[in-house]
Amino acid sequence: MNKINFSFIFAAGIAALMLTPMVAPTSANAQSATSQTEVVSGQYFGAKNTTHPSWFKESFLEFEEDIAEAAEAGKRLVIYFHQDGCPYCNKLVEDNFNNPDILEKMRASFDLVAINLWGDREVVQVGGKAFTEKTLAQALDVDFTPTLIFFNENKEVALRLNGYYPVVDFDHALDYVSAKMEKQIGFPEYVANYKKEKQTGELNRQDWLLTAPYDLANLPESKPLAILFEEPNCQNCDLLHTRTFASPDAKGLLESFQIVQLNRWSNTPIIKPDGEPTTATAWAKELGLGFSPAIAFYDPNGSKLFIVDSMLKTFHILGIFDYISSGTYKTEPDLQRFLSERAEHIINTGKDVNIWEY
């Protein structure tokens, strides 16, 4: 199975699961309903609707024309995939785009065109092929929102952010693209240059992590493999361990994987699942990782499945572990559909689902 980039885009478009709220029975019928179903449905929390700023580009959705118009104005085109109710999209708009420095850079250096992940408007992609918004998202493997694709003047992708990047990280990404740095250096190397203070120190250790030496081509068990690319002094890495992996729902899912933790800036030697020797930093660079923590998933045969490379919260991270450990990825290519059904199942057991908490 080919790699699907998240980035959680998501990457987080699953964050906007549009479920019909499940409401407990009214008091008049509560006793009767409870006796029939025995379980009162839980509730769904975390969806957030967003109003897009007026400075977004009004486009006829012919991307080659949009790229040319942007270039004439000394700008670059950004395609932004979103969906209704997505809290990660809301955070991008409310936090990132309201930051004065980011707002100035966006308006000065970019034309941003919004694309609805589930929309039906006709879009003419680079190369002239026509899609609807939703079929374009499928063709581009957009699995999460927001996903932002930055085009250069030659109609090529200069950078792709698969999922939500917090303000500081997003600001650096804008600097990278607006300065046309992709012609000189890869984004992971660019990130490494401004994260020198985070390259040494201790990671959050767990008893269930595999220990060195890391020969991932000859693992003792036939389980899926998850590689945690982390860095010291990383708040989001801390939350991954102290909140997400500490969740009561996490234990069984984590036990179904073989899990390796790497300092993404280190020269720790590794034999990759395909037998090729490398180091942690070289592997992170090869995978194009720009965010910490990132998670790369491989099936028991060593084939790459997914890469999570953006900020995600507990429901989405554990949902991806469940999607892979259950083997559902083999028969259900739509991760969003799986997570929607997963949320509904949890609600029907009487538990609440909050997609916006750690």
Tokens of 202: 């201790």
Mean pLDDT computed over 55-66:
97
Mean pLDDT computed over 308-323:
97
Domain range list for the chain: 201-332
Q: Is the dihedral of CA 51, 54, 57, 60 positive or negative?
A: positive
| DSSP per position, 109-123 | HEEEEEEETT---EE
The answer to which of 29-33, 152-156, 190-194, 232-236 has the lowest mean pLDDT is: 29-33
| Closest to 197 in 3D by CA, of 238, 236, 232 | 232
Regarding beta strands 353-354 and 294-298, do their DSSP bridges make them parallel or antiparallel, or are they unpaired?
unpaired
290-301: pLDDT as tens digits: 999 999 999 999
The pTM for the full model equals: 0.88
Query: What pLDDT does 32 receive?
Result: 46
- Whether 148 and 133 have beta carbons less than 8 Å apart is answered as no
**Mean per-residue pLDDT over the chain, rounded:** 90
Fold for the domain defined by 201-332 = Glutaredoxin (3.40.30)
Query: What pLDDT does 256 receive?
Result: 97
Of the chain, the percentage scoring pLDDT greater than 70 comes to 89
Which helix (H) or strand (E) element contains residue 286? helix 280-287
Per-position b or e across 305-323, b if 16+ CB within 10 A of its CB: bbbbbbbbbbbbbbbbbbb
Question: Has residue 175 got a pLDDT over 50?
Answer: yes
Of the chain, the percentage scoring pLDDT greater than 90 comes to 84
| Closest to 163 in 3D by CA, of 289, 260, 247 | 289
Question: Has residue 39 got a pLDDT over 90?
Answer: no
HSE-CB at 239 with a 13 A cutoff on CA atoms is 13
Mean pLDDT computed over 123-148:
94
CA 320-348-144 angle, 5° bins: 30
225-269: pLDDT as tens digits: 999 999 999 999 999 999 999 999 999 999 999 999 999 999 999
